[in-house]
Amino acid sequence: MVIQRYLLTYMVVVLASYLHNLIRAIEVPRDPSIQDTLPQPPTITKQSAKDYIVDPRDNIFIECEAKGNPTPTFSWTRNGKFFNVAKDPRVTMRHWSGTLVVDFRSGGRPEDYEGEYQCFSRNDYGTAISNKIFLHVSKSPLWPKENLDIQEVHEGASLILACNPPPGLPPPAIFWMSSSMEPIHQDKRVSQGQNGDLYFSNVMKQDAQTDYSCNARFAFTHTIQQKNPYTLRILTKYPYNEASFRNHTDMYSARGIAERQPSFMYPTGTSSSQMVLRGEDLLLECIASGVPSPDIMWHKKGGDLPSGRIKLENFNKALHIANISEEDSGEYFCLASNKVGISRHSISVKVKASPYWLDEPENLILAPGEDGRLLCRANGNPKPLIQWLVNGELLESSAPNPSREVNGDTVMFRDIQSGSSAVYQCNASNEHGYLLANAFVSVLDVVPRILLPRNQLIKVIQNNRTLLDCPFFGSPIPTLRWFKNGQGSTLHGGNYKAHENGTLEIIRARKEDQGTYTCVATNLLGKAQNQVRLEIKDPTRIIEGPKDAIPKKGSTIHLVCQTRHDATLRLTVTWLKDDIPVYFGNRMKKEEDGLTIHGVSEKDQGYYTCVASTELDKDTARAHLTVLAPSSVNRMTPPPARPERPRDLELTDLAERSVRLTWIPGDDNNSPITDYIVEFEEDKFQPGTWHNHSRYPGNVNSAILRLAPYVNYQFRVIAVNDVGSSYPSLPSERYHTNGARPEFNPSGVKGSGTAKNNMVISWMPLNATQVYGPNLKYIVKWRRRDTRESWNNRTVKGDVSQYTVAPTPIYTPYEIKVQALNDYGIAMEPETVIGYSGEDYPKAAPTDIRLKVVNSTAISLQWSKVYPETIQGQLKEYRAYYWRESSLLKNLWVSKKKQSMGFIGDRTRGIVSRLFPYSNYKLEMVVVNGRGDGPRSEILEFTSPEGVPSAPRYFRIRQPNLETVTLEWEHPEHPNGILIGYTLRYQAFNGSKTGRTMVEAFSPNQTKFLLQRTDPISRYRFNLRGRTQIGEGEPATGESPIPLNEVLPTSAYTKNQGDIATQGWFIGLMCAIALLVLILLIVCFIKRSRGGKYPVRANKDVPLDPDDQKVDNGSFDYRSLESDEDNKPLQGSQTSLDGTIKQQESDDSLVDYGEGGEGQFNEDGSFIGQYTVKKDKEETEGNESSEATSPVNAIYSLA
């Protein structure tokens, strides 16, 4: 029997040691004295990116750095073969590093060095390898030569201008400009796609005013390549007239362009697919044509777009989703809509994944004979293949190692021996990429070392938490024990807590904890020890601090600061005024018991703080000094303030369940103390947390406190007056009461299931004053209700607040009790509580469902109840799921999103409302309990009857003149049936007077009405409704605007007041203004005809005046002189479609000033060319105009 027990004990010890060593590896401290002496295999610390693109104008640097002991050496492979660096005169390797430098200063082509590179770092203990680095040289090829034909397109049609940029590395950034370097304005009608093409949803005549050139910017070489420009020729029914666009709300109808339903230009068709890798950004794009220009909206089928990670770009035509994950896969669709119709395109998004780490292998340090493992777990889509290498070679082809076992993603080491150190590589790869990780296995024999100076002295304040550190290292991992004063027992438990890192924690330092502590680290190779001497010091306290005072100016004031501290520590007392150190002199003197201020003045007013500090701790006390002028002493009363805190707390009359607490009140600060609040703190369950104990009147300074058993009490007192509460007093000494059996059981007992086969019994634990004794526990009892089975019970610890019963039958009632007990006994019998085990999903669906249409937006439902045993839980509701399958109106897109309506309780009928009229619906029902939905019933189909339409959209009322009012609208968003027309009701009103209501009926296609006003003063109220066969729908209402010449009535308004336009003074004022404007115009024309506006030299040999700084060789920049008025076309000229000004017969032409008719104008008509000053006619005859060429950026090159 003894031998069996011995063998069993031995096996348990061996198994525990095996599991411990398998999980716990040695960690090398960061201490340089350890790091520099231990052997270590190489570790790659820096390397270039896997895809490495370099600038062909610079030298090439391929980085590879590593650390190890001994210092590692480096070698490289190129395209899988050894790369002999010494044979290439352009290639060198940095000293103490593996970084390659390729120098082209003496010639050579960077393209000759493109390829795949890999770095190997070696020392005596293994070889680490870098990633495979693919070196590419950046390229920025020229645009191929091409002649682009003029693009002829009908106005209103769609157009795509292809860019087709030359392939660069990395790909270039694309942008569109005109040949004059003006950026192309983009909006929802004209925009650039992600492929670089320029898309026109519909072409307008003004698009021909410029040409279009695609530009490619190459980031590495800092160059821009420009494609030959496109020129557009727009075929139109009407000539271009900019004024027609400004004065017309619909530019398409103004140009006679037929409206078109949206259709997709990119991507084409109704569906497409896109693949994206996990962690990358997804960009979906939909560009549509149509008249008017369509709006784009994005949705995800069966769910919402991911919140917080989406961004709409390019006028909502592009959906950008950041940091894609597998959950983002699915079907996305974009809707292109205008007032003609809606088009839809679906994009199926598949999320794949290059390998990513789940468990990256980590360095492993073991002692001889120990066990360990390297774990390499990665995931991806498709699932990556795991391949192991050792020292850069495939594990299968390496030398056999009997202590090593490979099992898929794990390499196990059992009873490892010296000489087995190596660097292992894990390669996880799939079709989308690979991951490579190095992890070394180092086998060490190291005697234990203590990593702290010996014989340290540590001083701490009494009752504080204290940490005695003893960091150690060794291989095998040493065990560490603490001893005090040379005693043989290990310190752990009670007031001591030993941590795995070697630190000994003293939870609350007491005087008896003072002494010499010894830490001993031991392993198979030896042991090391160190001693720490601990001294416990008394805390520093201010036993009487300064008080708020109101001295008279010129008097002397003394602020008290009496302290108590440990006699072995040096005490320093400092004074602060408004948190700034006080300067001591003849007037301010620091004394042993405080601070004295002689001849108090106004500048002495403020807050004074006494700070008593030692090298270990400090205490502070603060008071406010208010200085009064002599004349105000008798007539100023000090303001009331919060009371001072009570002091000198004392415990007397100590009894088993009570104690008397006495205190000395503080100053009431001119507001009588009304209450005292007594608080307590205990150090077992919530140390440092203060709780209210009792409250007493302000005329009391002693009270008998009722106490609970087994509580280590500490008390403090707070004084209260009408201003507020004082600071808490200093705490009293502690008083520990004796234990007793519990008098309370836990409250809030309940039972509920978290799964279909369990029941969780939970309760509110007893608080610190209800425990009554050590080793609090709870007895949990349960049994099924209405059965005669015996009680089941389990006893749990006092820090537990729930217990799980499993397995249990589904949704079964149980009787539950929870009873408290401690070392002194058990509490009284608790009350019985009814709980229920977990619910399962309902097993049956409602049957015999009958449906009746109530009206166009509601139906009534009736169904038969399900059997109670099929509910398998508490019945919450019967729920109807319904969705709109289609509309009876053709070409009307509807959302098929499911909606639901619940009918709470055990009901058999209900109403489903808020339906869309004139639609086909489907409906199904389920039973719902606390777990969720049960199975679906059979699907019912029904059709909602025709209803009345919603209000007409975009109801606009304009009054272009005094005679007419124009009304415009669009069809209702929800026709809810076949629209048969519109009804308009309107009435005139003037102030409070209203005319009779007029009624107009319109056809369903009419969306505009012109009303002739009967008088110029009255306004109109309008009410417009759509009609179906059922009746009129919701109204769109509005009022006609106030005419520009109508003056709003004031309080002085009378019926005899005339129109302002007929007043004599107003007519005279207008005539005077017109006369002044006419005179001003005459003066301007005279100056222009004389050329007085242009500072032209009369003789080319005459030197320039100082004022004519802009004249240079007879020419100047006209733009610095022209005004806003000069930017407009001259009278007598007309604007052509290409934006130039055609010369008409005029005596005041710019041609006379040497500025020909070929000047360039911006889109807004402003001149951007360069004018030259006219010379004498004899010198310029036959050359009266010149054309300025715009500068071309040197960075652009035209193909």
Question: How is the chain split into domains, by residue range?
Answer: 40-137, 147-241, 259-353, 360-443, 446-537, 550-623, 647-737, 747-836, 847-944, 952-1039
The DSSP call for residue 419 is: T
Q: For every residue of 58-86, which 3-state class applies, written as one string?
A: CCEEECEEEEEECCCEEEEEECCEEECHH
Give phi and psi for 1077, each to the nearest 5: -65, -40
Q: Report the pLDDT value the prediction gives residue 25, as an integer from 0 to 100.
A: 58
2.60.200.20, 2.60.40.10, 3.90.1150.10, 3.40.50.300: which CATH number matches 952-1039? 2.60.40.10
Structure tokens at 754: 């978290």
Strands (E), 301-432: 310-313, 318-321, 330-337, 342-359, 364-366, 372-375, 377-381, 385-390, 393-394, 404-407, 410-413, 422-430
d(CA 586, CA 574): 17
Other CB atoms within a 10 A radius of the CB of residue 511 amount to 10
Local structure of 222: helix, strand or coil: coil
User: Cα–Cα distances in Å, from 556 out to 92, 500, 589, 697, 961?
Assistant: 83, 61, 11, 37, 88
Between the alpha carbon of residue 833 and those of residues 746, 791, 945, the distances in Å are 12, 13, 54
CATH code assigned to 847-944: 2.60.40.10
Q: Which DSSP state fits 205?
A: G
> In the Cβ-directed half-sphere of 10, how many Cα atoms lie within 13 Å?
6
Helix (H) / strand (E) element for 32: namely helix 32-35
User: What is the per-residue pLDDT for 13?
Assistant: 38
CA separation (Å) from 441 to 122, 375, 436, 444? Answer: 14, 12, 16, 10
* pLDDT at residue 142 in the model: 82
Which CATH number does the domain 147-241 belong to among 2.60.40.10, 1.10.1740.10, 3.40.50.720, 3.40.50.1110? Answer: 2.60.40.10
Q: Two tokens at 58?
A: 């610079």
Q: How many CB atoms lie within 10 A of CB 408?
A: 9
User: Can you tell me the distance from the alpha carbon of 819 to that of 933, in angstroms, rounded to the nearest whole number?
Assistant: 37
Which residues of the chain register pLDDT less than 70?
A: 1-28, 30-33, 35, 238-250, 254, 488-489, 630-637, 1043-1063, 1089-1199
Amino acid at 536: I
Multiple choice CATH, 550-623, 2.30.110.20, 2.60.40.10, 3.30.360.10, 3.30.9.10: 2.60.40.10
Among 385, 447, 388, smallest CA distance to 413 is for 388
Q: What's the pLDDT score for residue 1045?
A: 53
pTM, full prediction: 0.50
Whether the CB-CB separation of 60 and 83 falls below 8 Å is answered with no
Residues contacting 631, CB < 8 A, separation 6+: none
The two tokens of residue 890 are 């053709």
Q: Out of 2.60.40.3880, 3.30.70.20, 2.60.40.10, 2.60.120.10, which CATH number does the structure's domain 259-353 have?
A: 2.60.40.10
Question: pLDDT at position 1110, please?
Answer: 39
CA distance 753 to 812: 10
Any alpha helices (H) in 1002-1041, and if so which ranges? none
Does the N-terminal peptide bond of residue 267 adopt cis geometry, omega within 30 degrees of 0?
A: yes
The tokens describing 153, both together, are: 């397109």
C-alpha–C-alpha distance, residues 1030 and 1040, integer Å: 30
Query: What local confidence, expressed as pLDDT, does residue 1198 receive?
Result: 36
What does CATH list as the number for 647-737? 2.60.40.10
The confidence score (pLDDT) of residue 12 equals 39
**CB of 679 closer than 8 Å to CB of 718:** yes
Q: Can you tell me the distance from the alpha carbon of 201 to that of 191, in angstroms, rounded to the nearest whole number?
A: 9
10 Å CB burial of residue 629 (0-12, 13-18, 19+) is exposed
Q: Which CATH superfamily is domain 446-537 in?
A: Immunoglobulins (2.60.40.10)
Instruction: Tell me the CA distances in angstroms from 651 to 230, 511, 714, 1094, one per residue in order.
Output: 99, 22, 10, 104
User: Which residues contact residue 253 at a Cβ distance below 8 angstroms, ignoring those fewer than 6 apart?
Assistant: none
Task: Answer yes or no: are the C-beta atoms of 156 and 203 closer than 8 Å.
Answer: yes
Q: How many alpha carbons fall within 13 Å on the CB side of residue 916?
A: 25
Q: How far apart are CA 443 and CA 85, in angstroms?
A: 34
Q: What is the pLDDT of residue 43?
A: 93
| Selection from 971, 982, 942, 981 nearest residue 856 by Cα | 942
- Give the pLDDT score at 398: 86
- Taking the C-alpha atoms of residue 1103 and residue 221, their distance in angstroms, rounded to an integer, is 48
How many Cβ atoms sit within 10 Å of the Cβ of residue 622?
A: 15
Tell me the backbone φ, ψ of residue 206, rounded to 5 degrees. Answer: -70, -10
CATH superfamily of domain region 40-137: Immunoglobulins (2.60.40.10)
Q: Report which residue type is found at 345.
A: H
**Angle at CA of residue 822, ends 817 and 824, nearest 5°:** 125
Contact 304, 377 (CB under 8 A): no
Helices (H), 189-263: 242-246, 251-254
Scan for tokens 């009270």, then name that residue: 703
Residues of 1009-1046 as b/e, b for ≥16 C-beta within 10 angstroms? bebebeeeebbbbbbbbbbbebebbebbebebeeeeee
Residues 6 or more apart whose Cβ sits within 8 Å of residue 1058? none
Quote the radius of gyration of the chain (alpha carbons, Å).
46
Q: What is the CATH number of domain 747-836?
A: 2.60.40.10
Q: Which residues pair with 154 in a beta bridge?
A: 235
**360-443 CATH:** 2.60.40.10
Predicted local distance difference test score (pLDDT) of residue 644: 92
Sign of CA dihedral 815, 820, 825, 828: negative
- The label of the residue with tokens 């068709």 reads 269
User: How does DSSP classify residue 1017?
Assistant: S
User: Is-same-fold flag (40-137; 747-836)?
Assistant: yes
- Structure token digits, residue 530: 């160190």
